[in-house]
A and B are shown apart, each in its own frame.
Chain A
Amino acid sequence: MSMHEQPTSFAFTPEYLAKANIIIARYPQGRQQSAVMPLLDLAQRQEGWVSTAAIETIAAMLDMAPIRVQEVATFYTMYNHQPMGKHHVQVCTNICCQLTGSDGIVDSLKFALGVEFGDTSKDGLFTLSEVECLGACANAPMMQIDDDYYEDLTPESARAIIDAFRQGQTPKPGPQNGRINSAPEGGPTTLTTLSFSSEKA
């Protein structure tokens, strides 16, 4: 694990500290260590990544050895260990996405952001990552930006999403080609005689 420049200190903001205390209180006395993963997540939401200082702060809050927290933080790939852009763009290149054209999505994103995988764009807004399957194969190809999935992408729609984020908007998550959730494209292919009043398709 490479070491990046580490901040000398870390402290939860009052809002995050309040959330952290609620999480810690969920576990019985002496079992506070169970809160390590949500607390690491809170730290990452606050700072964008998990620094050594954050690890030590959490270790002290949960009465753990710092190495135990670091073990957890390095085991899970979703904890970042280096400073990140404002938005984390994670594009899936696993088999279903690749078969449906993730290579084109990747090229489009790299071109739009001007970065390679693992890098942060010059304006500090985006960090691009290549990830393994995110479990949305029915809507491949897809990418995750922050907490939301953007699915059924084309190189153009991916580009448009990036542009929207750049302008400070949050585009609507989900399929970008008009389909509803994971329903078949162009409408249902089975149970076509049934109709549900509240549904349009």
Chain B
Amino acid sequence: MPKLTIDGREIEVEAGTTIIQAAELLGIEIPRFCYHERLAIAGNCRMCLVEVEKMPKPVASCAMPINEGMVVKTNTPTVKNARQGVMEFLLLNHPLDCPICDQGGECDLQDQAMAYGKDHSRCDEQKRAVDKKNFGPLIETAMTRCIQCTRCVRFANEIAGAPELGALGRGEHMEITTYLNQALDSELSGNLIDLCPVGALTNKPASFTYRSWELKSTESVDAMDALGSAIRIDTRGNQVIRILPRVNDDVNEEWLSDRSRFACDGLSLQRLDKPYVRRDGKLAATTWSDALSVLAAKVKSSMTGRMAFIAGDHSDAETLVAAKDLAAAMGTTHLDCRQDGAALEAGLRASYLFNSTIAGIEHADALLIVGSNPRIEAAVFNARVRKRWLTGKLKVAVIGPKVDLTYKYEWLGDNPSILADIAAGTHPFAATLKAAANPALILGQGAVARTDGSAVLGLARKVADTTGMVKDGWNGFNVLHTAASRVGALDLGFVPGTGGKNVAEIVAAAGKGELDVLFLLGADEIDISGLGSTFVVYIGSHGDFGAHRADVVLPGAAYTEKNATFVNTEGRVQRTRLATFPPGEAKEDWKVVAAVAEALGKALPYTTLSQVRERLSAVNPVFAQIDMVAPASWGTFGQDGSVLPQPLTSTIKTFYAVDPISRSSKTMAQCQAAFGEDQCQRKTGTHG
């Protein structure tokens, strides 16, 4: 490995490293605008100029690969001068509108102008003005502020796979724009705001509502999809102003999907802030003690076993374990977490986990996607698949919806019987999988949430077995979940016990009057209209479908308002942190369940969060290992049986409205209006 010296300090780095990367390893700061470690090198801002011995001029350190014996200097008068000169050029056309710019206070240009620029401007010429551009309902533009670093263009091109951004014109007339000024159609567009080093692209829904220094940041975990991306929740008072990604290379790198980022206005809309009881057909606000006593009276008059629990997609593990313990105390086995009817089994962990891990997909060289549209089910993960595909080392095939996934794939059809052909080795793609060093399969919820879901699951397992997906150090059998609560619920065994009913059976029983009381733990995606005259108790955060049908509504907390445990699709146990308090009289959900239990005379044996978490670890030891993914042991699961010819599709129809929070969000409603209702039907592009 070549050695070089930077500012008198020697370092040995891998060949191909650039000077800026080597300097970073030494902790030497080199200012930059266009360089970004996850994007291609552009070398056009010139801010990272350094002096290299034996080179006649300062060189752009971001684009200069190191050589043996290179002597780099970053702190000489020449470098200082070069930086000042570059900064002067960058500021030539940059408006001095920092006081009214949303980026003010967290702006790379502002900070670096302070650190590396001159203390005054020599410019008394006119500055250029550039028209606003249309980047869609999520991104506000002020293109006069743009310094043409082209980070946004490279992100859209490389990471998001939406090559709609470009730099038109040349020289002083160059402008960044979308093609024909159409809104940028990507589920990852919000990341442009983070990437933009100036205030040219800012957060549109939150524009002019905050100054960055007023915000309090809380590091937490996202629950808007099943990836569990690392997030930072920025709040002012008790309001979530914005949500930003944090770096977590194992999950989201440093990206965040638009739903996770922009649905935060839904956290303060349609909220349940008081308990409600249905009186004379209408929900009336009431007190906790009244609501609980109405509930207790109803439960006491019902018969044992005529009670059921359905967990929603945002339920945290604490709530689930409390509800499961309550169900056991009440003597009912009718409990289920699979609102969509997915035929996943709770027993064997490997059967419902994303076993290769999200980062592990970068080692896969053949990938079969079954019944899933990862672009809208897990947008950040889809970018990871694209990243691998761009290296040219990944072959992708899809059995399911034929949509634009931002990478090219072989469409095998949408009939689940193709899986049987692959398992039998008669399909040509079976050979591709067998020849691959690390073959992988992604099973979407669309593949298992069917009446023949168990058979499809069984076939997928056979494919994994027969094509060598499961071996030492590699398990390519992956279930891609869409609900943040699902893996945690399966880990806790929140599924029907002996003689218990699953979601469809619970709803059917309710419709036929065979059920007295139904508890919905934020469950809104079931067939609410088919619940008949069953007494419905809704514990959740939003006045969505479930709450409208409920007889008793007990207000809970959203994922930003509690210290809660979620398990992501890989089986990674992560904890959210309280960023704001639940509104009004709402309480953390597990405490609500505990209060219900107490009102029913079945008090749970834990009263503090740490006691609940001890209980979690007792039910399943995985809950004791925070932020870790342990390989799950393989086995036999799924059923033998024939599959139906119904086409495999995605369970999510539109990216922007999948849960109570995103349905309440005005921003998400605007996106849906701008980008159309049914993204599942989006045509395949030719520009992957």
Contact = CB atoms under 8 A, between A and B. Distances in A.
Contacts of B170: 74-75
Interface size of A as a range: 10 to 19
Nearest to B157: A65
Nearest to B156: A67
B168 interface: yes
Interface stretch (B158-166, B286-294, B428-436, B573-581): B158-166
A194 interface: no
B179 A66 contact: yes
B115 interface: no
B166 A68 contact: yes
B56 interface: no
Contacts of B157: 65
A70 B686 contact: no
Interface string A58-77: 00100111111011001100
- The winner among A64, A66, A74 for most chain B CB atoms within 10 A is A74
Contacts of B163: 65, 67-68
B96 interface: no
A184 to B, nearest CB: 37
- The winner among A1, A60, A67 for most chain B CB atoms within 10 A is A67
Given A1-B168, A75-B169, A70 B179 contact: yes
A65 B157 CA distance: 10
A64 B179 CA distance: 13
A70 B687 contact: no
A67 B165 contact: yes
A64 B164 CA distance: 11
A105 to B, nearest CB: 26
Nearest to B167: A71
A60 B168 contact: no
B543 to A, nearest CB: 43
A74 B169 contact: yes
A52 interface: yes
B180 interface: yes
Contacts, number: 34
B164 A70 contact: no
Given A64-B687, A65-B687, A67-B179, A74 B168 contact: yes
Given A52-B180, A60-B686, A67 B169 contact: no
A162 B167 CA distance: 37
- The winner among B163, B179, B686, B687 for most chain A CB atoms within 10 A is B179
Nearest to B164: A67
Contacts of A67: 163-166, 178-179
B169 A1 contact: yes
A1 B178 CA distance: 13
B686 A71 contact: no
A52 B686 CA distance: 18
Contact of B168 (A52, A63, A64, A71): A71
Nearest to B131: A1
B181 to A, nearest CB: 9
Nearest to A64: B687
Nearest to B175: A1
Contacts of B178: 67
A180 B192 CA distance: 58
Contacts of B686: 60, 63
Nearest to B687: A65
Contacts of A75: 168-170
Contacts of A60: 686
Nearest to B179: A67
Contacts of A71: 166-168
- The winner among A63, A65, A68 for most chain B CB atoms within 10 A is A65
Contacts of B169: 1, 74-75
Contact of B179 (A1, A63, A65): A65
A30 to B, nearest CB: 11
Contacts of B166: 67-68, 70-71
Contacts of A68: 163, 166
Nearest to B178: A67
A67 B168 CA distance: 9
Nearest to A6: B180
B687 A63 contact: yes
Interface in B179-202: 179-180
A68 B170 CA distance: 14
A70 B175 CA distance: 12
A74 B179 CA distance: 12
A5 to B, nearest CB: 14
Interface string B143-173: 0000000000000010000011111111000
A131 to B, nearest CB: 15
Nearest to A55: B179
Interface in A62-99: 63-68, 70-71, 74-75
A64 B169 CA distance: 18
Contacts of B179: 65-67, 70
A1 B170 CA distance: 11
Contacts of A66: 179
23 contacts: A1-B169, A1-B175, A52-B180, A63-B686, A63-B687, A64-B687, A65-B157, A65-B163, A65-B164, A65-B179, A67-B163, A67-B166, A67-B178, A68-B163, A68-B166, A70-B166, A70-B168, A71-B167, A71-B168, A74-B169, A74-B170, A75-B169, A75-B170
7 nearest A-B residue pairs (beta carbon): A65-B163, A67-B166, A67-B179, A74-B168, A65-B687, A71-B166, A75-B170
Interface of B: 157, 163-170, 175, 178-180, 686-687
Interface of A: 1, 52, 60, 63-68, 70-71, 74-75
Given A66-B179, A67-B163, 14 more contacts: A1-B175, A60-B686, A63-B686, A64-B687, A65-B179, A67-B164, A67-B165, A67-B166, A67-B178, A70-B166, A71-B167, A71-B168, A74-B168, A75-B170
